Amino acid sequence: MALNLSRNTKVFVSSVNGVHASGGSIVSVDGFTAGSGYSVGDIITCTAGGSGSGAKLIVAAVNGSGGVTEVYIPNNYRGTGFADDEALTQASVSPSGGTGFAAAVDGVTSTTTAEGSRTASGLFVGNEDDANTFKIGVLDGYSFSQASENTDITVSEAGATPQRAQKRFNDSLAPAEWSFQTYVRPYKHGSASIRTSGKHDMVENILWAAIAGKDITGGALTGTSASAVTSDSTDCDVAFLRSDHHELLKLNIFFALENTTYRLNDCQVNQVEVDFSIDGIATLSWSGNATSIDQVSTAIEDPSKALHAKPAGTDTSTTVSTYVEQYNYVDITGPDDADYLRNKLSTLSLVVTEQGGGADAGGLSAKTYDIAITGGSITIANNITYLTPETLGQVDKPIGSFSGARQISGSLTCYLDTKSNGSNQLLSDLSAATSLISPQFDMSLFMGNASGTVPNVEFDIPKAHLSIPTIETADVISTSIEFAAIGTGLDADGTAGDEMTVKYKGSTTHSQTGYAASSSKAVS
């Protein structure tokens, strides 16, 4: 018996489930003709005897003359369009110069996943600009589960000996629930990274793309809208202008435990909470739902594994991290790959223009407030609803979801001070603005460092609606400021969704052999 320890958990987030939509991907290979002159780590690009394409093999072991005896096949090298027993011969090899290798296809995939028969959505890509699978560093306390909905039937009758029994029926599976916490980690791309050198980015890019839009950064998917996340040499932006869709980007989340891997299918990112606790490291708490949970028992659909093929057969259970990272997934979670942010260095910019005729008319006068925050949070919620049939006599499953109203709100805490344009002045100004029903402030929260100093993350809210602050009694009297991000309008006129823009700026450069923005080893 093997136990699963949470400390050894790895989490992968992907826009695909690891199975090519056209089917015919290689399950394994056998029937080797060893050839000669190869070295371990060589990559053999194969041509097929039929219509298959896109297959590559990584040499895992050789004999005394350099003949190939074992190969690894990452998910991204399994190709498509192959048939069982189709012949494979060498088209090219790098970096060595072996010759004479040949093999045969030993089984191919269909257009559905092995577990759960989910519709195939594509192979994992772990390098180049269209990378679609990422390792996400999560904190302790992650969770995922799927419960069942049931109905209890009871009877109620009179008499000396009434029947008091009950029966229970399973009706449906509820949408799966998941949650985990990540650090806020900006970085810059280097000469060997998945995007152009000098561009700003963040480790949690794919999660922001899913909560704020329909498409993945880098163009691995082609949807009806551009990605919500854009990366350039100035910063990496998350814009909610592109989130007006019934269904946002669907993800597959893989929890690779020590001895078991679970896949959450058709995940939606419903909510993220940004924590400004000043004594800690900047964190994000992500949560959402999925239609189903599968236990992935085959290596071909597990981003943490590669196939290990031998002449006598197959070994699809071996974890081969050396030949998985950079092919199956992107990993930028190392301590030296990206920045961490210290909340104690966070700053607040709060500016108001004259509104409602100014303070003398019961409105607000133009002012720039000087407020040092002591904590707070921002919550972004999509209010996603899942639909589940209710058919008698069978256990139904969720069939999909749709997004509700987008809500961006939060709170900030600060000491109640009497300095010029401080927190006490803000409280007084809002209390006196009795003729102003929709006060709007230009608010910018700089997490980690002030504006102009990297690394930092800016939460830019051009129209923040502030409620009148409340007094909190403690050793030092403080105040709590509740706010909501308000867009320009309710109509889809190009401005709906402009409630907030998130801007990441990194200082640490990620550059690692095997990743490249172009001309890398990705196979789509």
In a domain, 491, yes or no: yes
pTM of the complete model beyond 0.85: yes
> Is 90 contained in some domain?
yes
- Could you read off the pLDDT of 243-301 as tens digits, one per residue? 888 999 999 999 999 889 999 999 999 999 999 998 999 999 999 999 999 999 888 89
Q: Is residue 128 one of the residues assigned to a domain?
A: no
User: What are 169-187's pLDDT values in tens digits?
Assistant: 888 889 999 999 999 999 9
466, 482 Cβ separation under 8 angstroms: yes
**pLDDT-above-70 percentage for the chain:** 95
Last residue of a domain, one of 105, 140, 163: 105
pLDDT, mean of residues 116-130 = 90
The pLDDT of residue 219 is 58
Written as six digits, the tokens of 359 are 């303070």
For residue 472 the two structure tokens come to 């909190």
**Averaged pLDDT score across all residues of the chain:** 91
Rounded CA separation 500/497 (Å): 8
Q: How far is CA 463 from the centre of its chain?
A: 28
Q: Which of 165-179, 340-354, 479-493 has the lowest mean pLDDT?
A: 479-493
Comparison of pLDDT for 97 and 421, the residue scoring more: 421
**What are 301-319's pLDDT values in tens digits?**
999 999 898 876 666 666 7
Is residue 364 domain-resident? yes
Q: When comparing pLDDT for 167 and 207, which is higher? A: 207
Percent of the chain's residues with pLDDT above 90: 70
CA distances to 42, 415, 420, 439, 500 from 231, rounded to whole Å, are 34, 37, 39, 33, 17
In a domain, 232, yes or no: no
Q: Are 136 and 204 in contact, with CB atoms under 8 Å apart?
A: yes
> Count of domains in the chain?
2
For the chain, the residue count is 524
Single out the residue in 66, 82, 105 at which a domain terminates. 105
CATH number at residue 413: 2.30.110
Residue 374: Cβ within 10 Å count: 17
- Work out the average pLDDT over 207-228: 78
| 63 found inside a domain | yes
pLDDT higher for 349 or 226? Answer: 349
> In which domain, by residue range, is 52 found?
20-105
The per-residue pLDDT for 222 is 47
Average pLDDT over residues 17-28: 92
| Domain final position from 105, 123, 148 | 105
Q: Is residue 14 part of a domain?
A: no
Domain contains 482: yes
